[in-house]
Every structure is written in C-alpha cells, then in structure tokens.
Amino acid sequence: VSHVAPWQTGTTRTPSTAFCLLMKFLCMRLTEKQMLGLLHHQDSPYIRAIGFLYLRYTHPPKLLWDWIEPFLDDEEEITPSPDPSSKMTMGQYVQKIVSDMQYYGTMLPRIPVPIERKMKVLMLLHEEKKKRAALNRSQRHRLKPGAKIRAIYSDADNDPAWYEAEILQVEG
C-alpha cells in the first residue's frame, strides 16, 4: 500500500489496495481490540490510515471523538494520495477525514449537524490548548501555587467553557 485514495493511480474504475483492505475489514467487522491494533500499528502509517477510515465509515458519530482525539497531535507523516507532494501528518489526516464530507471524490457517511458542530468546537479547543501550553511553558516563572487564572474545562455533562481557577501545584 503506497496511498489510501479510493482508486488505483490513473483510474476511477479500479479500487486501490487500501480500499480492498478496508472492504475486507468491513466484512470482518473488527473488534475493539483489533481496531486498537490497527490505530497503534508501528509498521506503516497506511495501516493506521485504513483503521481511521474504517472508524469514519462504521463508528457511531457520537462516539467518534473519543477514538480520534488521542491522535490529533500525531506527527507521523503520510502521503494519502498517489501525488507525492500531498504529504501531511497523521493528525492532519485524521482531522481531514472527520471534518470533510468527501474523500477523494467519494462520499463519507454524514455526521449529524449537532455532533459535527461539537467536534469542530473540540478541534478548535484542542488547538487552543496546544497554543496555551506553549505559552505557559514560556511563562513558567509566573505559574505559582495560589495564582489566579482562567482555564477551559469540560466533561461528559458540561460543554467546554472558561472558568476562574487557582493553581494548586506546579509540576516539573
């Protein structure tokens, strides 16, 4: 497998090796353990990309975020299309297949609008947290126990929001 586009290079009639493997996985109905094995595979980023496509095609949209969130910062490089200049990180690839409705001219399953909006907000928050973490590292001298701050918090019952907070301890 040298790319994860749906079609062989130069044709729109012959499925790619990646999509043949994806079809095989769809027929097998992978277990959670098998999915984790695909997503954490060390040998090839293309094996992992097929795993993310499997998730996108089969997993309930409401639960999709819990699967993809740990991989948003994945820096492993992949070339998803036959075009060698289309390199991206695995994290960017995961964001692309979750936020787009089309995948190289094929339609992906629709994500309901409320879930899609929430995932877009969570992706923006993820980026914001990365920026804030970098800023906090550069201003570590100001972060002392007892300091008043504003922090983003969310859980299963509460949507993400800014809250007044106090630093209890500083590690490292």
Q: Which residues contact 91 (CB under 8 A, 6 or more apart)?
A: 71, 72, 73, 74, 75
Q: Is the pLDDT of residue 12 over 80?
A: no
Enumerate the domain spans of the chain. 17-118, 140-172
Q: Is the pLDDT of residue 11 over 90?
A: no
At 92 the pLDDT is 96
pLDDT band at 47 (very low <50, low <70, confident <90, very high): very high
Pairing of the two strands 102-103 and 106-107:
antiparallel
At 159 the pLDDT is 81
Q: What is the pLDDT of residues 103-113, one digit of tens each?
A: 998 999 999 99
Mean pLDDT of 24-36: 95
At 156 the pLDDT is 78
The amino acid that residue 158 corresponds to is: N
Query: Which range, of 5-9, 33-37, 91-95, averages the lowest pLDDT?
Result: 5-9
* DSSP H or E stretch at residue 78: strand 77-78
Q: Is the pLDDT of residue 67 over 80?
A: yes
pTM for the structure as a whole: 0.82
Q: What is the pLDDT of residues 102-158, one digit of tens each?
A: 999 899 999 999 999 999 989 998 998 889 888 888 888 888 899 898 888 888 788
Which residue, among 54, 87, 93, 59, has the nearest Cα to 73 in the 3D structure?
Answer: 93
Q: Is the pLDDT of residue 172 over 80?
A: no
At 48 the pLDDT is 96
